[in-house]
Amino acid sequence: MFPTISWVSLGLVLAGIVVHCLVSPSRRSAKGEAAKSISEGDRSLLAKLKCLACPLALGSLIVLFLTGFVGRLFFGELMTGYTLMLHVGLAPVFVVCLGFIVITWGHQCLLNDTDRQRLGSLLRLNKPDSGGPPDLGWKLTFWLAMFLAVPASLSMVLGMFPIFGTHGQETLLCLHQYSSLALTLAAMIHVYLVIRRKALCS
Amino acid sequence: MIQVIRTLLPLVLVFGACALAQAAEKGKGFGDGHDGNRASVTHLIDLFDDKGDQIKSSIRPRPISMRNTCGKCHDYDTMAAGWHFHSGSTNVLSGRVGEPWVLTDNRIRTQIPISNRGWKGTYKPGDVDMNAWKFLKKFSSHFPGGNYGEMAPSEDEEDGADEEEVDTSELFRWEISGKYEINCLACHHADRKQNQSDAAFQAAKENYRWAATVASGLASVKGTASELEDFYDPEFDGHKIITSYDKSRFDSNDKVFLDIVGKPTSNRCYFCHSTQNLQTPGEDEWVHNEDIHLASGMSCADCHRNGVDHMISRGDIEPSKNPHGSADYLKAYDPKKVTSYSCQGCHMGDPNADDPAARMGGHLGAPIPEHKGMPPVHFEKLSCTACHSGRLPTGNTARVRTARIHKLGLHGKLASMQPQLPHVVTPVFARMANGKIGPHNMIWPSFWGTQTNGVVKPLAPNLVREIAPDELGIEIEAPERVNDWIELSEKQIGNVLKLIGDYEWELEEGEPKPLPVYVAGGLLYRLSNGVVVSENHDAGEPYKWPIAHDVRPAAQSLGSNGRCADCHDKDSPFIFGQVEVDTPIKPAEKQSVAMTEFGELDRGYYQMFAFTFLFRPWLKVVVILSCILLGMVLLLYALKGLDTVIKAAGKKVSSKQ
């Protein structure tokens, strides 16, 4: 069941990204606007760490995804051996990075009035005002990814305590799998939208 | 007309005889099965001897024949096909690997696992020149009867067989000793007078026909079959083995009450299936605990159940090997029934069972384990017994003695037999046939043999004694022992191998001369240009069999209450323990093999994996703190968002007003 859902959802998201990339208009906004909004031109240690945390989180997420999903999707096997060790070893790096990112980037990912209006329009199934760079998508996926990281992490850590029995462990594993899949999908969309926005604003 | 009658009469008589025989056959086994009444059946019965005559206390009695006494109501031949009794048959079922018989001869430094079931690492009795008679002579102390005990050569075989194949003196001995029939009472007689040690004593005297009678406590026997002449005939020589029944046991109709139970008590099973923990033997035996199931009031037969066929369930989950495609075997081993009485079936339920109750588990009040903190992957890789059964592992394997191998439980004159060899090492965590790792008992085979076309076969101990009596010091009265072994030097090995090599083998035309070899401690020794060389060889592989008892309490199981370090510590004996290598060559030196060899585990990987457990507490702290941080930030922004929504809603309401 899980491999099927994974294949379908990954396929749909990738296809959606490709279609969006082809279909969506690529009007460029004022140069530097987006860059300014996403990354301040600060060169302090915090800013450097802030810049380091994102690729580190992304890199560890990719490795976590590969170690966690490849064996399962291609060979129907659960992680064992060195793969498992690498997966478990990188997990805290990823979670710590996320903690750092949510603190340092959280404020910039707050929805502003424009975003709220867009969100309101989308919820009312109206076509949103197309003026300005599309920020709503990457902000929402950011918060979604941050939210999903909590069950994805806790589901595994709690399994290491003598709290849950076999059934509980299986439920935790299930929760870990599905929340990780959702986290990966959210991160994929987020990264795509951020890259696209940067490209549009450069 | 008369002609017609003359023709038909014999036919009618033949048909009549057949019908009567068939009717008699139908009656056979009417005591088997169950009519639904749970009250036990009172066995106030007639006893019969091996000639089929009723035993009466007043007339010079003969010993009880189980075939003729129990067989009056129960189907003896069907029972004889059960696990305990069929190993000598030609179509023997192999089943899961189990404890073998071990042919030991300390003087010639030999210990050979013997089984007719074709288990890898065992040798068939015939391989060591052991026929039914010799088998009984060697192993009858803990023998349930039947099987080899009833394999006396028939007269036809006697006439038709090659003189060399049938030892005529053994034929006479069979006549004197009688058959060792299945001793039904050994298991089903609940009377505390039942004493299997007495059966062993009678068997040691070759009084096979009398063994069951004496063990039951119904009679005593005077006389020793093994001391009688080959041509002894009670009709001419007078009875020299006298059976004296306890007359008080016979009622006025010469019936005898036997306290027979369908479900044997554990005490009966223990005689052959005890294991002595040598950690604190002898006087400190009292410190040992029983299997937790028995301590809780259960009996062996609660789980090890059987039908009339006596194919006792062995705790297997998967159907055992069925090399002959026997339909009877599969019928007896219906996994849907058997699995329900395995560890998993009782404690967790068998999801494939037809009976909904069996699907739920909890047989006989078995607690359903939660296995808190235990990732489910463990259940794919480990048997239940890995964590729950046998001795708790320590850095080095320990030793145990088993009832059958070490002849435990013998009293009286036989009590002086307290063999320490073969050393049974335990627990060895090895991979089982189903791919899971489980605890095993293990012995290292050790024997003189021959190698032909790469195949190693042991030599019969008697032949080795005949070939090299002096070199092996057979005549020395009290040889020095080191670690229970009489030490064997490489020089001695070389000399004995030369003597075996010089032996005049009777070979068929074109058959190569066998090369003499010695197997011990996992190595095969042979002569190369007159020099002894050793090498690894399959024949030297230790023989191991999975164990399931004693089951320890849950609190004493490996990994109990989330103690990962029980197995995932860098010094964990479960993975990194050392398995003793037992050999008469340099027995004073401590020799061992890594446990990982038997579990087929990558030692480097598990060392690294154990190393990661040092950081596991940190991992837990870091991840939990990060999650708390993430959660708080998310909550903060969620509240902010809510604040914005409330403010916006408020503004909208005030602007409308």
Q: Output the six-digit token pair for A187.
A: 């991160």
Do B272 and B144 touch, CB atoms closer than 8 A?
A: yes
Binary contact (B623, A149; C-beta < 8 A) = no
Tell whether the model's pLDDT for residue B543 goes beyond 90. yes
Average pLDDT of span B635-642: 89
Each residue's pLDDT tens digit, B41-99: 899 999 999 999 999 877 778 999 999 999 999 999 889 888 899 888 777 777 888 99
pLDDT above 90 as % of chain A: 49
Do B581 and A58 touch, CB atoms closer than 8 A?
A: no
- Compare B95 and B113 and report the one with higher pLDDT: B113
Binary contact (B627, A164; C-beta < 8 A) = no
- Compare B650 and B13 and report the one with higher pLDDT: B650
Each residue's pLDDT tens digit, B563-595: 899 999 989 999 999 999 999 999 999 999 999
Helix (H, G, I), strand (E, B) or coil at B450: strand
Tell whether the model's pLDDT for residue A61 goes beyond 90. yes
CA–CA separation, B445 and B425 (whole Å): 12
Binary contact (B376, A153; C-beta < 8 A) = no
Please state the separation of Cα A178 from the chain's center in Å: 14
Interface A–B counts its CB contacts (< 8 A) at: 104
Average pLDDT of span A168-187: 94
Binary contact (A95, B627; C-beta < 8 A) = yes
Do B436 and B383 touch, CB atoms closer than 8 A?
A: yes
B365 Rama class: left (phi>0) / alpha (psi -120 to 50) / beta: left
Q: Output the six-digit token pair for B415.
A: 């009590």
Contact of A74 with chain B, judged by CB distance below 8 Å, is answered with no
Binary contact (A164, B631; C-beta < 8 A) = no
Do B186 and B268 touch, CB atoms closer than 8 A?
A: yes
pLDDT above 70 as % of chain B: 89
Binary contact (B626, A81; C-beta < 8 A) = no
Q: Which residues contact B544 (CB under 8 A, 6 or more apart)?
A: B97, B121, B428, B430, B440, B441, B442, B443, B598
Q: In chain B, what residues touch A146 (CB-CB under 8 Å)?
A: 630, 633-634
Q: Which residues contact B77 (CB under 8 A, 6 or more apart)?
A: none
CA–CA separation, B425 and B429 (whole Å): 11
Tell whether the model's pLDDT for residue B361 goes beyond 60. yes
Residue B437, amino acid:
I
B29/chain A closest Cα distance in angstroms: 46
B549/chain A closest Cα distance in angstroms: 24
CA–CA separation, B243 and B245 (whole Å): 6
Q: Which of B295, B294, B307, B302 is nearest to B363 (CA)?
A: B302
Contact of B627 with chain A, judged by CB distance below 8 Å, is answered with yes
Q: Give the relative orientation of helices A136-159 and A166-201 as an angle to the nearest 10 degrees.
A: 160
Average pLDDT of span B632-644: 89
Tell whether the model's pLDDT for residue A31 goes beyond 60. no
Query: Omega before B335 cis (within 30°)?
Result: no
Give the residue from A80, A155, A157, A161 with the most B CB atoms within 10 Å of its CB, the best one to mutate. A157
Tell whether the model's pLDDT for residue A34 goes beyond 50. no
Q: What ipTM, to 2 d.p.?
A: 0.88
Do B552 and B545 touch, CB atoms closer than 8 A?
A: no
* Rounded CA Rg of chain A: 19
Neighbours of A120 (CB within 10 A): 12
Each residue's pLDDT tens digit, B416-458: 777 888 999 999 999 998 889 999 999 999 999 999 988 999 9
As beta bridge partners, residue B110 has: B105
pLDDT above 90 as % of chain B: 58
pLDDT number for residue B1: 53
Q: In chain B, what residues touch A162 (CB-CB under 8 Å)?
A: 372-373, 561-562
What is the maximum alpha-carbon separation in chain A? 57
As beta bridge partners, residue B112 has: B103
Q: In chain B, what residues touch A164 (CB-CB under 8 Å)?
A: 372-373
Confidence of residue B650 (pLDDT cuts 50, 70, 90): confident
CA–CA separation, B339 and B354 (whole Å): 11
pLDDT number for residue B14: 53
Average pLDDT of span B192-218: 94
The per-residue pLDDT of chain A, averaged, comes to: 84
Confidence of residue A110 (pLDDT cuts 50, 70, 90): confident
CA–CA separation, B137 and B645 (whole Å): 94
Do B329 and B316 touch, CB atoms closer than 8 A?
A: no
Q: In chain A, what residues touch B623 (CB-CB under 8 Å)?
A: 91-92, 95, 153-154, 156-157
CA–CA separation, B544 and B537 (whole Å): 16
Do B305 and B58 touch, CB atoms closer than 8 A?
A: no
Average pLDDT of span B384-391: 94
Sign, CA torsion A120/A126/A127/A130: negative
Q: Which of B27, B39, B41, B20 is nearest to B72 (CA)?
A: B27
Each residue's pLDDT tens digit, B114-149: 999 889 999 999 999 999 999 999 999 999 999 899
pLDDT number for residue B251: 92
Q: Are strands B578-580 and B242-245 parallel, antiparallel or unpaired?
A: unpaired
- Compare B140 and A39 and report the one with higher pLDDT: B140
* pTM for this predicted structure: 0.87
A126/chain B closest Cα distance in angstroms: 19
CA–CA separation, B648 and B654 (whole Å): 10
Residue appearing with tokens 């009658």: B5
Tell whether the model's pLDDT for residue B244 goes beyond 70. yes
CA–CA separation, B342 and B303 (whole Å): 7
CA–CA separation, A79 and A58 (whole Å): 21
Binary contact (A95, B619; C-beta < 8 A) = no
> How buried is B321 (Cβ within 10 angstroms: 0-12 exposed, 13-18 middle, 19+ buried)?
middle
Sign, CA torsion A10/A11/A16/A18: positive
- Compare B509 and A36 and report the one with higher pLDDT: B509
What is the maximum alpha-carbon separation in chain B? 132
